[in-house]
Amino acid sequence: MVRRLSTVDPRFAAGFEALLGEKRESDADVDAAAAAIIADVRARGDAAVIEHTRRFDRFDPAEGGLRIPDEALHRAIAACPPATIAALRLAAARIEAFHRMQMPAGIDHVDTAGVRMGAVWRPIAAVGLYVPGGLAAYPSSVLMNAVPAKVAGVGRLVMTVPTPDGKVAPLVLAAAAIAGVDEVYRIGGAQAVAALAYGTAAIRPVDKIVGPGNAYVAAAKRRVFGTVGIDMIAGPSEILVVADAANDPDWIAVDLLSQAEHDTAAQSILFTDDAAFADRVVAAVDTALTGLPREAIARASWERFGAVVVLRDLDEAPALIDRLAPEHLELAVADPEHLCGRIRNAGAVFLGRHTPEAIGDYIAGPNHVLPTARSARFSSGLGVLDFLKRTTFVACDAASLARIGPAAVTLAEAEGLDAHARSIAIRLEAAPASA
């Protein structure tokens, strides 16, 4: 049975706190295993990558090479249904258009003291993109990670994708070709992360690694951070749907299952101000589960981690939403804009009854790589800025240095950093003679 909470219940606070603190993925021995694989790849390079791929993916990449040839990517486009390729191209165009609007402008300013200062943005030179290839193939994930990188101007985009039993979904390769990925390697897991971070004979290292993966991938990304940048440590997917009784319960049920079908550790939560409507949604979920191709996964997720919270009224929702800080938030209510304006913490918000979260997964335009596990309290979804670096600059002439330098000398001396102070003062002392 799915867990039920009500804000009128005196035990609600304890129940909601338990919901917040619930751990949805096991990390027993995962970090140690990832660390061992990383150390092995650093020590033995390609040989270690090949050995771990044989072990975990049940095929030998040495036979056909670690890299998937560029021509295979373009052949994949021809091998896929034309309607699906057209949909991928439409999605890529929409994702590109949205992310182009995120490109920041530089700053070049001279202040009243005559000091010139500013900032310039430069793309990261090389980025590694991890694409999952286990339980399902996600060409949409390729687009969501690769297209913003290309918009930012990343010069070398390297993709790794596990190919269990030597098989890779043609749509994933087609998406890589459409997005302009430069190199694709048939490896996954912690060994792929290690190869991207430290490099091997076959795979040159990158500067940042992005993209979702399983617990071993997440542990490996955490381990290599500092050697390379990473986007985030992604956990299991999650959705919170806020719905009033004017909704069709069947619509809300499939919205909840849209995330539950990802993973047995995914989480789907319903907030509603109508207990009878909550009952109808729970019944609709049970009906919708039957015959769902990924029924076993979705059912395990819903029964273990799903929740239904009945509110006194929708005014209670914003404070509770901010505590949950959900990855995906649907506001299927009469006035979603008003409610959204009161919410601080969410990865992405879907406004109104006709905006299911799934539209954002594929075609809307904003990125679907979003903060999970309550990290929307302090982080954002993937975007162009994740593939750019900001460098500031300052330019003083003798006159402007004379205006602001004495204060800098004072602060340096107060911190006991005499060379700092002297490097400014020596120029101030020379200024009259050189004027």
Rounded-to-integer distance, Cα 55 and Cα 15, Å: 42
pLDDT at residue 307 tops 70:
yes
Please indicate whether residue 198 or residue 62 has the higher confidence score (pLDDT): 198
Q: Which residues contact 41 (CB under 8 A, 6 or more apart)?
A: 48, 49, 52, 191, 194, 195, 198, 200
Reply yes or no on whether 420 is catalytic: no
Q: What are phi and psi of 41, to 5 degrees?
A: -65, -40
Give ∠ CA 54-59-63 in degrees, rounded to 5.
100
Q: Mean of the pLDDT values across residues 385-412? A: 98
The amino acid that residue 360 corresponds to is G
pLDDT at residue 336 tops 90:
yes
Domains recognised in the chain with CATH numbers: 3-23+235-364 (3.40.50.1980), 30-103+123-233 (3.40.50.1980), 396-434 (1.20.5.1300)
Element (H, E) at 17: helix 12-21
pLDDT per position as a tens digit, 218-264? 999 999 999 999 999 888 999 999 999 999 999 999 999 999 999 89
Q: What is the pTM of this model?
A: 0.93
Of these residues, 99, 328, 330, 368, which one is catalytic? 328
| pLDDT band, residue 435 (cuts 50/70/90) | very low
Reply yes or no on whether 368 is catalytic: no
Pair 396, 408: CB distance under 8 Å? no
Rounded-to-integer distance, Cα 149 and Cα 365, Å: 14
Would you state the pLDDT for residue 241? 98
Would you state the pLDDT for residue 431? 66
| pLDDT band, residue 28 (cuts 50/70/90) | low
Would you state the pLDDT for residue 434? 46
Of these residues, 261, 327, 330, 357, which one is catalytic? 327
